[in-house]
Structure 1
Amino acid sequence: MRQTVSDVMTANPVTVTPRTPYKHIARLLAERRISAIPVVDGHGRPVGVVSEADLIARLRTGEDTRRPGPIAGGRARRDWDRAHALFARDLMTRPARTVTPGESVHATALRMARAGVRRLFVVDEGRLVGVVSRRDLLGTFCRPDREIHADIERDVLQRALWMAPGQATVTVEDGVVTLVGRLDSRGEAERAGLLCARVPGVLGVRNRLDFVWDDRGGTRLQSSTVDR
């Protein structure tokens, strides 16, 4: 049920080396319709990334023939150097932000949002094996409701919780899951909601499961509902 980066990433992305020329990089970005390309060393390890923004820097300051002096500041000189760079090693942004194939999609989305980046490069034992973008992550929320329903019935109710047929019912509408039924304990009801929330494509869970025994407080109840 837990969806990981390896499930959604683009495997074996196109790469360049530190010595790849500017024009070749620009051609690759245009032909492959991608916005950035990883730079790898001789061992396949990502050492940086060249994006459209790095290439377009030439349009901003490329007409200035003189490198800015010390009074202009370090950033102005770095921008000038990048605008006049001819190879990936001088164009690229360091370091390349990476993630491992086994990291969850949820954790990866949080990392991407906090870093303010559009993509992360996927590494396995240091070597580049893929790239995951914001679009890849958003794709997980486009799953049809019927697929989500089938996963919950099979993986949550039957395999994880061993529920008897008819003990609980599931409905899914626009990615929101509603659980209705009666379980033996409050812990089981809460666990059902948590497991459903982890199914790829689920946007929310309305847990309307009743329980007979409050195993968290030791009180036997006739009817109660745990909401999520």
Structure 2
Amino acid sequence: MREPTVASLMTAEVIGAGPDTPFQDLVRLLGDNKVSALPVVEADRPVGVVSEADLLPKEEFRAGAEEPPGFFAARAEKHRWAQSAGLTARDVMSTPVWTTTPDTPASRAARELATAGVRRLFVVDGEGVLVGVLSRRDLLRLFVREDADLRREIQDEVFGRTLWVDPLTIGVTVSRGVVTLSGRLERRSEIEIAEHLVRSMPGVVEVHNNLRPDWDDSKRPRQTEIFG
């Protein structure tokens, strides 16, 4: 079983802007395409990001109508003040650009999003060229699966092909992504493997493992039990 990669989830058609794109055009691009951020692209490579938050300082400070932040003001406030006077994407964009690659596993991409605290990762190839964008919403789509399809895949992939168990001897029920397993396997270690494999499948929300072993191979016999 292979985990989905970024390439299978990303949006390949990315709406972007150039460093010299005027402020008003940036606003139009965001609104017309119903996106909250744009990559700023130079020579096919992302060099910055313009989000709605990067454009709001223009209204917040009215391009210097208020007093500028003082020396002891927070760095973020000083940055917004500088953005308020921006005329082009280069003036208002944020850096660095958080990127990932097409072959990155979905779970690692989710971890990168969480660690960076961003809403999207821009996808680049081995040369750093922009080839797509992956959002939180793209990753969450993994959980929108039909219960019947998920049940069938668990039976076939986990029990049939991986554990070599007759799928019909194992009870697998799925309700809104919550999987319940019942029945018996030969070894306790197989039950642990089965649960791990099911949890790793795209679309699984939770696993209730009611499988029981015929033999508890997690307990090693003592030497006295072996040699008498």
TM-score, normalised by the number of residues in structure 1: 0.86
Choose the corresponding residue for 1:152, options 140, 151, 154: 154
Matched-pair contact (CA < 8 Å) for 1:171–1:178:
yes
Q: Is the 8 A contact 2:172 2:181 kept in 1?
A: yes
The aligned amino acid for 2:19 is P
Alpha-carbon deviation of 1:114?
A: 3.2
Distance in 2 (CA, whole Å) between partners of 1:40 and 1:67 is 33
Q: Is 1:163 matched with 2:188?
A: no
CA–CA separation in structure 2 for the residues paired with 1:140 and 1:217: 37
**Paired-residue identity, %:** 44
Do the aligned partners of 1:62 and 1:80 also contact (CA within 8 Å) in 2? no
Report deviation, 1:79. Answer: 2.3
CA distance 1:114–1:69, shift in 2 (3 Å) = closer
The aligned residue for residue 136 of structure 1 is 138
Equivalent runs, 1:35-184 vs 2, <5 Å: 35-42=36-43, 44-64=44-64, 68=68, 71=71, 73=73, 75=75, 76-125=77-126, 126-184=128-186
* Residues 18 and 40, structure 2, Cα contact 8 Å, conserved in 1: yes
AA paired with 2:129? R
Bigger Cα displacement from structure 2, 195-204 vs 5-14? 5-14
Deviations 1:41-64 (A, max 9, x none): 21x221110001111110011242
CA distance in 2: counterparts of 1:168 and 1:74, whole angstroms: 59
Following the alignment from structure 1 to structure 2, what is the Cα–Cα distance between the partners of residues 213 and 190? Answer: 13
Uncovered stretches (5+) of structure 1, i.e. residues with no partner? 220-228
Call closer, same or farther: CA 1:165–1:95 in 2, change over 3 Å.
closer
**8 Å CA contact retained: 1:67, 1:80:** no
Query: Secondary structure of the residue that 2:149 maps to in structure 1?
Result: helix
SS of residue in 2 equivalent to 1:19? coil
AA of the residue aligned to 1:24: D
Shift of 1:39: 1.0
Superposition RMSD on alpha carbons, in Å?
A: 2.2
What letter matches 1:35 in structure 2? S
Structure 1 pair 165/174, CA: closer, same or farther in 2 (3 Å)?
closer
Q: 1:214 to 1:3 in 2, by over 3 A?
A: same
Ranges of 4+ aligned residues in structure 1 off by more than 4 Å: none
- Give how far 1:34 is off: 0.3
Q: CA deviation at 1:115?
A: 2.6
Aligned residues: 218
- Distance in 2 (CA, whole Å) between partners of 1:52 and 1:205 is 39
TM-score, structure 2 normalization: 0.86
Contact 1:179–1:206 at 8 Å: present in 2 too? yes
